[in-house]
Chains A and B, each alone.
Chain A
């Protein structure tokens, strides 16, 4: 096998007739060009045109986008929403923190009007959430935890110990055995790298 081709931004890779564009590339006048410095990857699946992408050692998705799952840390809460710092997009850690908001009505899918934010999150909690909107000029990224797999994954009790989930809405401190309310995530193995 020949060594993989390297390219830099602006390199013409091929015509659109030969391949369909993947990530790290752009189209211009019927040709596909590289927009990254990386390895050229051609993937062929079935009868369709092979997909051409440019990949780097680190994943290229650097920004939270609508629909992506993010890991965040709760920084402050009030009755209407919880403010968070987004730490990860998927499994890629972000170098710079982005701020996000989980509104009260986006905490869970059922009985939305009975949600109380302080029975769902506490500052310092690590939460899995999904981006629902990039927000507007005033607001931050809007996130939701209204899915079974989303919600608090790591939380510490008043005593400072890491709590164990006991139901979808409660966690317990292993030291003092006190129970605290949280919107607990049913952790799925694919997100359990943390």
Chain B
């Protein structure tokens, strides 16, 4: 992952600041940096969103394709995640450098969505054991400035909110063969219920405290972080410790508690924002990538 070098004096400064709930950029320990969200940014996807968090920028595109349901769960569709760490984001991703991080991010995403309620997979089924929708969630890292997990999860939620899956009509011909027809009408489409889509909160243990949405400098001062994905209701769908250090149980409990609190609070404004943007419809002023 993108890293920065922090000297000892800087480290002490950052540590002391955090101890006093004052971070280098003026935030409190549980504050996010400035975040911008824009949906429907890539026209040839079924749903897309771009999120910038500080200088971190990610783009998520969702493509819905018809596939075959998994044999174990014939009445459900499924999601596929792929994270592309472009060399644009940081030169470290050049060559095979980004591959490992991409792998790590996507496996975590699978875990985050590995439950019954995040996305209603049953609604993605077209005909049991034969056809279902497969949502390919492609994440592209545009710029890395720490806290990738949170930015990605928010972008995914926004993109899923934005996703429009064409309706299908199944007709049966004389021989009993089934034919699938996609609706031509762009407005005749299915929307996904994103209420239960979780958001990830990464908590970085710095000194004896933990911070939300750590910058690269703060990350360099921390030994370990905890990734917590939280739904609107406060259910935790995935927890994972990352980094080379260890944490004592008490701080894990504190961190999950804080993660839950911060995560839960994230959802309502996000949904509101997305609905607002949608209601603007065509009138909305597109910011684009350079905006």
When A and B assemble into the complex, do they touch directly, with CB atoms less than 8 Å apart? Answer: no
Q: Which residues of A contact B (CB under 8 A)?
A: none
Q: Which residues of B contact A (CB under 8 A)?
A: none
